[in-house]
Each structure stands twice: as structure tokens, then as C-alpha cells.
């Protein structure tokens, strides 16, 4: 779940539903297991709809490899597919889907998260940049690897713009080595989370007149990621991993990784 900022264009609820329906149909037509997770699951359980101020819909799956091969299927429905995080050894893959029929000004999208299985329980591996140093390094890494467009730069803060201008001054002939170095530093500085959810059983529910898959006892899954106060709406919410770290002391199934090894 990510919050719509004041400078971002939101999407009407019916368009979100149509977008989700197209993605859901592709997954089901290709026999891909999935379930609502994170903010989408929270919206179903707490609000009985997608959360109005959320700028994405969250889906979880075991079958991310199969989804990566469906780019042509998404294109047929005027959807684009982008693979995120696959090059980072401490994070599971995320596939981001966008609907080209939505206004160009919106950043609304669907995130499909890869979960792995550990003793029958779904596990999500994620890196969190919880301190200034790690955020600066990660921002420099991303700016060098995928330079932001002028349109995207318009949404940046002044400090972000300064950082991009600084990275633009790095000579082209040393950029490949700089990117590799920043990646190593980024991984070293970030908090590595290994979030284990309750053992997964799937149920089918009715949501917006569609048959949709969610975990049995979804409340237990929501408590893992949002804490015991998950029923209380929070527009100040920042990021799944950061929220998980807040509740780390109360949740025995969240453990931090060091050097890629489970404690």
C-alpha cells in the first residue's frame, strides 16, 4: 500500500475495479495462484472496498516466474509490465502492472509480490531504507541506473533534484563501476526483513461482484504487517517494510537478516 500524495492524480473507484479485473482474468486464465495482500486485503476486510487514498493494489503469488512470461497477455489488455527488485539478492521479485487506458498523470498501478514458502508459510523478503544514509545511496543508485524523466522530476523534492543533478555530473566512463559500488553499499546499509506470515489457506470471496482469493483468517495476516491497530485508518502510512519494523518487538514472526542468513 502506498498513499496518494496531494500532487498526484487519483483514479476513480470504478476504473480501479476494471483495472484489477483485467489483471485477475489474466492470472486465472493462466492458472496462476494469487491472493489479495497488504493494502488490497486491508481494504477488503476493513473497508469492503479498495482504500480510496491508496495508489496501488497489492496481489501476492507463488508463481512470479510464470507472470514474468505473460507480457504479451498484458499488452493485449492494454497493460504494461515492469519487473522490480529482481537484481537484488535480498528481495523477492515484484511485478508492477500499469493500465495505459488510465490518465497519464496518474501513477496508480498493481503490484504483484513474489512470496516464497517456508514450512508451508508465505515469506516476503524485503529491504527497508530506514535511515538517511541508506536512502541517499539508494536514490543515487536508482538515478544512475534509471535516470528520471523530466515529468517525473516535477514530482521530486528540492533535495531529490539536487541529488539527481549531482549524479548527472558523474562521468559516463565510470558510471557502470559506480552503479555496482552503490548497489553493494545499498545492500549493506539497508535493513533486510524476512517477514513470515501465518500458514496460508486460500478462500474465495465476493468483492465488487467478482470471485476473489484471499487468505483464510485474513486478520492474522494484516496484524503481521500493520500491527494490532490495523483496523484504524492511517493516512500517514509510509511503507510495508517500515511498518513491519515498527511492530517488530511485538511480532515474533518478523526477523531481520544479516548477511543473507536467517537468525
Compute the distance between CA of residue 11 and CA of residue 50 in angstroms, rounded to an integer.
Answer: 11
Cα 97 from Cα 23, distance rounded (Å): 8
Give the DSSP H/E element, type plus range, for residue 203. Answer: strand 202-207
Domain positions in the chain are: 13-127+193-257, 132-189
Low-confidence ranges of the chain (pLDDT < 50): 1, 3-7, 245, 247-263
Class of domain 13-127+193-257: alpha beta
Sheet strand arrangement including 254-257? 116-118, 121-128, 191-196, 254-257
pLDDT tens sequence across 38-79:
999 999 999 999 998 888 999 999 999 999 999 999 999 999
Nearest alpha carbon to residue 30 among 59, 72, 58:
72
pLDDT in tens, 141-166: 989 988 988 878 887 889 889 999 99
Amino acid at each position: 500500500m502506498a498513499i496518494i500524495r496531494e500532487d498526484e492524480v487519483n483514479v476513480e473507484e470504478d476504473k480501479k475495479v476494471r483495472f484489477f479485473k483485467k489483471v485477475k482474468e489474466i492470472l486465472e486464465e493462466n492458472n496462476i495462484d494469487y491472493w489479495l495482500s497488504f493494502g488490497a486485503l486491508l481494504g477488503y476486510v476493513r473497508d469492503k472496498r479498495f482504500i480510496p487514498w491508496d495508489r496501488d493494489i497489492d496481489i501476492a503469488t507463488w508463481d512470479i516466474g510464470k507472470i514474468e512470461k505473460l507480457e504479451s497477455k498484458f499488452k493485449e489488455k492494454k497493460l504494461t509490465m515492469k519487473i522490480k527488485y529482481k537484481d537484488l539478492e535480498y528481495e523477492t521479485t515484484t511485478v508492477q502492472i500499469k493500465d495505459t487506458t488510465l490518465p497519464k498523470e496518474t501513477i496508480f498501478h498493481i503490484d504483484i509480490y513474489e512470496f516464497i514458502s517456508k514450512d508451508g508459510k508465505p515469506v516476503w523478503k524485503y529491504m527497508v531504507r530506514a535511515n538517511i544514509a541508506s536512502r541517499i545511496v539508494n536514490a543515487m543508485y536508482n538515478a544512475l541506473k534509471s535516470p528520471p524523466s523530466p515529468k517525473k522530476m516535477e514530482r521530486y523534492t528540492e533535495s531529490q533534484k539536487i541529488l539527481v543533478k549531482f549524479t548527472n555530473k558523474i562521468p559516463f566512463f565510470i558510471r557502470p563501476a559506480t552503479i555496482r559500488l552503490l548497489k553493494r553499499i545499498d545492500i549493506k546499509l539497508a535493513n533486510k526483513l524476512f517477514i513470515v506470515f501465518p500458514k496460508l489457506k486460500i478462500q474465495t470471496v465476493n468483492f465488487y461482484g467478482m470471485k476473489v482469493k484471499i487468505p483464510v483468517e485474513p486478520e492474522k495476516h494484516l496484524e503481521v504487517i500493520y500491527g494490532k491497530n490495523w483496523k484504524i485508518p492511517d493516512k500517514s502510512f509510509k511503507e510495508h517494510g517500515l511498518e513491519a519494523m515498527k511492530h517488530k518487538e511485538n511480532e515474533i514472526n518478523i526477523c531481520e537478516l544479516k548477511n543473507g542468513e536467517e537468525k
